Structure 1
Amino acid sequence: QRPPPPGQTAPPPRPQRPPRQAAPADTPPSQQDAPRERRQALPGETVAPAPDETVIAPPRQRINNPTAVFSGLDKITGRIISFDVAIDETVQFGALQVTPRICYTRPPTETPQTTSFVEVDEVTLNGEVRRIYGGWMFAASPGLSGVEHSIYDVWLTDCKQTAPLVQGQAPAPPAAAPAAQAPPPQRR
């Protein structure tokens, strides 16, 4: 051990733990390896698991959604457009065709994570369709998984439980409509 620098005092020595003693030979094996009892947590207090305990987290839940929400940037005009696409449907954005295959979210009680498996095709000037992207998109990190085209960028922003509204089409009625009520009686 080195001496302390001039003008300073040495820190106090650390207390030494006594060595662990083996159980006496006449102690039954079932009591030798018995785990220590855990102290009950007080209200508002958390108690860490003992070092020999394994904590298994419950599996994360995924919510399957029927609609994926994307944003698209047209680099020529500088406009950003948000559009909804139903799962397994194809929407044209400029020269790109966007087809989500699945869209997952997590329940509000868990860490938010929105993911979608997406296929993006480009329609060339010759009318040929070629795949430029096929993979997972993450709403939390669009720079990691968005489509970067020379003219258009597309990235996932959200998933929704409602079907997308097609222009010129009436919105779908709610799934469970309340029973029709009789009109209120008229006063005379």
Structure 2
Amino acid sequence: MKRLVTVFMLLAHSANAQTVIEGDNTVISLGNAPTAESRTRASASSAAQAVMRGLDKLAGASEDIILTTGESTDFGALTITMKDCRYPKGNPSGDAFVNLEITDSKTGKSAFEGWMVASSPALHAMDHPRYDVWAIRCKLDDRTPSVVAGESSPLPLMRPEGLGGN
């Protein structure tokens, strides 16, 4: 291991090593080796409210849930508390990160605690047999609509009368 560190240090200090900083990007190249690039993450801003969507898998009903920081609400047997909602600074319609604490009021156990990412709901998802909750976006004020173009309706789709069923 010590030998590997020594070799890396020699490569890093060789005449072929070059570090270029361009704006928010840092590019490191070592001779003919592939370049390594790092990007500085944009800073985040906090919003006072978050929009989540809840799904009752048994009833097939979904509902938009709007919470203010520190507020709790019940969704079926779940109690959802929103701790924080962050979005990229200067881009309120950008990717939202919502910090939630969700407990099952029937069992008293935690169903989820942590950050949910709106663009990747499966990245850190809640695992519950009946309910599903995921982050949609941060909401900056009361004028921000809860459903915008490109998203599904908060109401479940209904079949027209006389088609397939009841």
The verdict on a shared fold, with TM-score over 0.5 as the criterion, is yes
Unaligned stretches of 5+ residues in structure 2:
1-17, 25-39, 144-166
Q: 1:154-187 deviations in whole A, cap 9, x for unaligned?
A: 01111111269xxxxxxxxxxxxxxxxxxxxxxx
CA contact (8 A) 1:118 1:135 kept: yes
Q: 1:13-59 deviations in whole A, cap 9, x for unaligned?
A: xxxxxxxxxxxxxxxxxxxxxxxxxxxxxxxxxxxxxx553235166
Residue type of the alignment partner of 2:120: S
Unaligned stretches of 5+ residues in structure 1:
1-50, 165-188
1:106: how far off?
1.4
Q: If each structure's strand is expressed as a fraction of its own residues, which one has the higher value?
A: 2
CA contact (8 A) 1:145 1:155 kept: no
Partner of 1:137 in structure 2?
Answer: 116
**TM-score w.r.t. length of structure 1:** 0.53
CA contact (8 A) 1:63 1:106 kept: yes
Identity in percent: 26
**1:101 and 2:109 are equivalent in the alignment:** no
**1:114 and 2:96 are equivalent in the alignment:** yes
What are the residue-to-residue correspondences of 1:8-157 with 2, within 5 Å?
52-57=19-24, 60-107=42-89, 112-124=94-106, 129-157=108-136
> Between Structure 1 and Structure 2, how many residues are aligned?
111
Residue type of the alignment partner of 1:95: A
CA contact (8 A) 2:82 2:101 kept: yes
CA RMSD between the two structures: 2.5
1:122: how far off?
0.5
Computing the radius of gyration from Cα coordinates, the structure with the larger value is: 1
CA contact (8 A) 1:67 1:163 kept: no
